[in-house]
Structure 1
Amino acid sequence: MQMYEVVAVSDDMEREIAKEILYAQDEDDAIDQFQELMKERKIACGICMAQEL
């Protein structure tokens, strides 16, 4: 497990919508976890990016 910072930005890449630090197997897993969190919180997110910390 690695630590990832996952960020959701607006479709036009102008503003950050949400950010989380997550433990995941890889970047895809981190993004999947993040998208589930956003669904639970009812936050619409455009583009999601993950970076290993």
Structure 2
Amino acid sequence: MTEMYGALWRILPGPVWLRIILLLVLIVAAVYALFTWVFPWVDAQLNPINVTVEE
């Protein structure tokens, strides 16, 4: 697992401060993609049952 992070760190260009900014941008983009496309698609595939609590 640490080899993957090391490889990613070596691939990113620039000094350390720029690499940190790029990593943060990549993380934000990945989270945005998950919440925008992946999670809604998975939710539609699972077809959850609508559960309501009645009094």
Q: TM-score, normalised by structure 2?
A: 0.37
Larger Cα Rg: Structure 1 or Structure 2? 2
Report the structure, 1 or 2, having the larger helix content. Answer: 2
